[in-house]
A and B are shown apart, each in its own frame.
Chain A
């Protein structure tokens, strides 16, 4: 699986958009980009995933660059409850593939 690089920590003001970057320059054509978050020792929570196209759901938007070497997770209106560690994970498209968690980005939403 391709390796991902994320900033160790980020801050964002409540109500503003939080933009979390992820670099996955060695991603291959059949690997998905997944985003999870973990709020203090709770189980990781699935946010969104994509292959090539930008994706949006009720939680967030995922913007994948055209060369697929990086992506950005966008939380449009961050709240205090969005404070968590956010993991960007690249996952092969075939088989029941495990998730390989890196260090993630510790996002703090400030009032």
Chain B
């Protein structure tokens, strides 16, 4: 079965640069979630979208923004990158806004800031 696709898998940037992470949800899934996992930490929710509208917002820095497009894929844009942004970034998708539908995760993007 098709899974959540994230690209790129690895990304190396320098401080103050920008980065764009992409997420392609499972076909027919209309809800996308972004999570950040720092070294040795548990995943933390950043932001989510349902039917192209922001549905919830967590501890996402103002330097980050995200959107969901008409084909339901999503992009996380990160600017003025800091060393502390080095982390795994996971995208998850689900069908509908009903919490009886589980979220399914991609393999993540590993972002390293030099």
Minimum CB–CB distance for A78 against chain B, Å: 22
- Contact for A49 among B31, B58, B102, CB less than 8 A: B102
Contact check, B50 vs A44: say whether CB atoms are below 8 A apart. Answer: no
Known: A43-B105, A45-B105, A97-B56. A92 touches B99 (CB 8 A): yes
Q: Does B72 contact A (CB under 8 A)?
A: no
Contact check, A42 vs B99: say whether CB atoms are below 8 A apart. Answer: no
Which B residues are CB-close (under 8 A) to A91? 99
Which A residues are CB-close (under 8 A) to B4? 43
A41 CA to B105 CA, complexed, in Å: 12
Which A residues are CB-close (under 8 A) to B56? 95-98
Q: Does B86 contact A (CB under 8 A)?
A: no
Contact check, B108 vs A96: say whether CB atoms are below 8 A apart. Answer: no
Known: A43-B108, A98-B48. A93 touches B88 (CB 8 A): no
Minimum CB–CB distance for B97 against chain A, Å: 4
Contact check, B102 vs A96: say whether CB atoms are below 8 A apart. Answer: no
Which B residues are CB-close (under 8 A) to A41? 88, 108, 110
Which B residues are CB-close (under 8 A) to A44? 43, 90, 92, 105
Which residues of A does B touch, CB under 8 Å? 32, 34, 38, 41-46, 49, 51, 87, 91-104
Which residues of B does A touch, CB under 8 Å? 4, 31, 33, 35, 42-45, 48, 50, 55-56, 58, 88, 90, 92, 94, 96-100, 102-108, 110
